[in-house]
Chains A and B, each alone.
Chain A
Amino acid sequence: MNRHMQYLASQAAAGKLSRRDFLGKAAALGFTAVSANLLLSTAAKAAGPQKGGTIRLGLQGGSTTDSLDPALVTNTVGLMVTRLWGETLVELADDGGIEGKLAESYEASADAKTWTFKLRSGVTYSNGQNVTADDVVKTMERHSGEDTKSGALGIMRGIKDVRADGDSVVFELDSPNADLPYLLADYHLIIQPNGGNDDPAAAIGTGPYIMKSADMGVRFVAEKNPNYWGDLGNADTVEIIVINDDTARVAALQSGQVDVIDRVPPRTAKLVDRAPNITVHSTSAAGHYVFIMHCNTAPFDNNDVRMALKYGINRQEMVDKILNGYGTVGNDTPINASYPMYTELEQRQFDPDKAMHHLKKSGHDGSILLRTSDNSFPGAPDASALFQQSLSSAGIQLDVKREPNDGYWSEVWNAKPFCTSYWGGRPTQDQMFTTAYLSTADWNDTRFNNEQFDQMLVAARGELDVAKRTQMYADMSTILRDEGGLICPMFNDFVEATTDKVDGFVEGIPGQVLMNGYAASKLWVKA
């Protein structure tokens, strides 16, 4: 609540929310006018982004094999760099809604099958060319074509046709989808001249910065785009340095060589936060660390075995020991409070008796093999050992097999029947379910096949009544919780840190890391 108020105050101070609206919302949240006004004045003092200077980010996840082609971006560094020079049609707003980027406005037909996005006029690429509706069409085609390598291919599937119509772009869908704008906010779908067909890695876009140098997996430098249409981009120069080693990244922040880092190791985050010039930010998010069982492979094809394992895990212990408190307990569904239309289900507790009961009922005898590796999520082998202990108190023997990091995502994940893994969040329930729990999904890594679930997913997609849709998603989460192959003990927070040289970090922005990837352009260097 308090965080929400601070967020509102900072919005009001930045002029994005009128004073009257702010006070109204504050009253609705139970704040008196006096305290709300006080909050507003402190926020105003703190606010007022300052222009100029250089922001330096030390980030994990870059590799020398990366490409500037937005279709091939797979990691945080790629996301942050792409956000500098490029833009999507629409973007997630800070309150979880959708705001226009290159599209000024959009509307859907009554059946949610035809969507029209009106382009912002007069926007130019960094090479001086104008953005045209044709570029948008070409971009969408490049990401959905037969021979594409785009990471966005999966979400482009339901789109039947994209065509230019004057300064608008019209999307025709196979079936109704009320969430199309969320899909188009995917960070791969950067609008490029001629759809990026000529030179996908040229980094020519409409973003607030222009790339000056790009040394893959090492260092990126970008300078302010003088012709940028919007108000993003406070620093004159952004420098992104890839620092994959945890200790080195923290040391670089402590010694003042960078101003912002991501992925502060949870184990040391509290120590890092103690330094007077450093602030650690923790953002609860939709990403989760999981144990996944194939629902079609023995012994996991028996729901009682699955239930036994679900009751045999101590979720709070995992949050405390694996995440060091930087996270929240899961409930065996991929959905948490970060999602719109979220309904809280009854929390499943660690219960050795029920675990034993279900195991007996299943008739399964003998041990169960779990595969894990360091890179399936940070601390996965430790989490597996905790799981082993909590299960043994229920009389279930778990064997843990440590697999090499190398090749884990091709040889073990989505191939072996029981292993550790992680999922990043998606902006909507529909996207999360469609990506991994629809029976025909490519990444159905639990081999979940439930006809009722599939039908509800399609029905919910076309349902424009929010109350009905919310209920449907609650029912689907219940099905997953009670029948699915997902054991979700915890949702991990994003733990990031800044020095006192920079200001403007807002915690709790939904979606992604580092203020949904906009930290570089939204933070400012203090004068």
Chain B
Amino acid sequence: MSPIVKLLAQRIALSLLLLLLISVVIFAGTIVLPGDVAQSILGQSATPEALANLRAELGVNDPPVQRYFAWLFGAMQGDLGTALTSGQDIAQALSSRFWNTLFLAFWAAVVAVPLAIFLGLLAVRFKDRWPDKLISAVTLASISIPEFLIGYVLMYFIAVKLRWFPSVAMVNDNMGLFEKLNAIALPIAVLTLVVLAHMMRMTRAAILNVMQSAYIETAELKGLNAFQVIYRHAFPNAIAPIVNVVMLNLAYLVVGVVVIEVVFVYPGMGQYLVDHVSKRDVPVVQACGLIFAAVYIGLNMIADIVAILSNPRLRHPK
């Protein structure tokens, strides 16, 4: 077996083991939260009888270990169960939410990733001169401001004052692609501002690191211009750390945008998860947690694989 295939198999097996451990951790976490699901569903209007009735129906009287394994075997067969609170099929309810989340993350990434890398290259090209300083200042400022505040500011000027884009990013199946993009323009803008700095700084640092190498000097002596040196010689060698930070930010775009979803009323997975956590709806929390974990682990695995593949010593074993 070639070392690459072996490495990949190891990565994937480790990822699956990690997922299993995470499901245990999530389950344990939901158990130690105060309150129970029946109380949370009925809220202030809970009578003892109604509580007892609901608890029995929901099956929360069974021991936790038994509930965990029942769920695990169901999930392996693609059955995520039904939500305790609304009785909906989780897989079905989750899928539209998950696609919405991916839709927003995808378009945010389409804008942010090329922009970040381009700005990173630009900053290297004009290192320590005003374009570099301007790019650094603006992106660092945008990452330092809390994302909800950026959201409110954009909402006030662009949606309320200028009325260019809507403040409520409500998408549904009846909308065309252009309508959907119009609706999510503001959240995309905010997310771009939030993830830009991280990726741009990492690109800049990784390439500058490579730029110290002897072969860059050789390339310069060959008479290549600065952009060609960066693009043809520095960038391929800096790709591993850049892919790593890009993947981390993509994962953030999928799993970490609850605040943006709330501010812009976007029907993604984050809000769905938060609602169910506060109602102790363990099956839904498990399912969301598992999907988020899978996205995170999957994207990091891709980053690892790209790093392995971009390393000539691993591609061409002796």
Contacts and interface: CB of A to CB of B under 8 A. Distances in A.
Contact of A411 (B35, B160, B172): B35
B53 interface: yes
Contacts of A67: 85-87
A35 interface: no
A302 interface: no
Given A74-B43, A251-B156, A217 B271 contact: yes
A63 interface: yes
Interface in B82-106: 83, 85-88, 93
B298 interface: no
B262 A153 contact: no
Interface in A453-493: none
A407 interface: yes
B53 A147 contact: yes
A74 B160 contact: no
Contact of B45 (A74, A201, A217, A218): A74
Would you call the interface of chain B mostly helix, strand, loop, or mixed? helix
B263 A65 contact: no
B47 A410 contact: no
B307 to A, nearest CB: 38
Interface stretch (A237-245, A320-328, A499-507, A516-524): A237-245
A442 B263 CA distance: 37
Interface string B24-63: 0000000001111001111111011110011001000000
Contacts of B48: 442
A219 interface: yes
Interface string A149-160: 111011000000
A517 B262 CA distance: 24
Given A74-B42, A257-B167, A218 B267 contact: yes
A65 B279 contact: yes
A251 B45 contact: no
Contacts of A241: 168, 170, 265
Interface in A64-105: 64-67, 72, 74
A264 to B, nearest CB: 15
Contacts of A217: 271-272, 275
Nearest to B96: A215
Nearest to A147: B53
Contact of A248 (B34, B39, B263, B278): B263
A410 B35 contact: yes
A252 to B, nearest CB: 5
Interface in B253-304: 262-265, 267, 271-272, 275-276, 278-279, 281
Interface in A132-172: 146-151, 153-154
Interface in A156-210: 201
B75 interface: no
Contacts of B267: 215, 218-219
B264 A151 contact: no
A139 to B, nearest CB: 17
B161 to A, nearest CB: 9
B44 A413 contact: yes
B131 interface: no
B20 to A, nearest CB: 27
A275 B155 CA distance: 16
B159 interface: yes
A18 interface: no
B168 A442 contact: no
A409 B53 contact: no
A406 B271 contact: no
A409 B281 contact: no
Contacts of B172: 213, 215, 219
B163 interface: yes
Interface of B: 33-36, 39-45, 47-50, 53-54, 57, 83, 85-88, 93, 152, 155-156, 159-160, 163, 166-168, 170, 172, 262-265, 267, 271-272, 275-276, 278-279, 281
8 contacts: A65-B281, A146-B53, A153-B47, A215-B267, A255-B166, A256-B163, A409-B35, A410-B40
The 9 A-B pairs with the shortest beta carbon distances in the complex, nearest first, are A407-B34, A407-B35, A410-B35, A65-B85, A410-B39, A64-B275, A151-B45, A251-B167, A442-B47
Given A150-B50, A406-B35, A406-B278, 12 more contacts: A65-B279, A147-B57, A148-B50, A149-B54, A149-B57, A153-B50, A219-B170, A241-B170, A251-B152, A407-B34, A410-B36, A443-B47
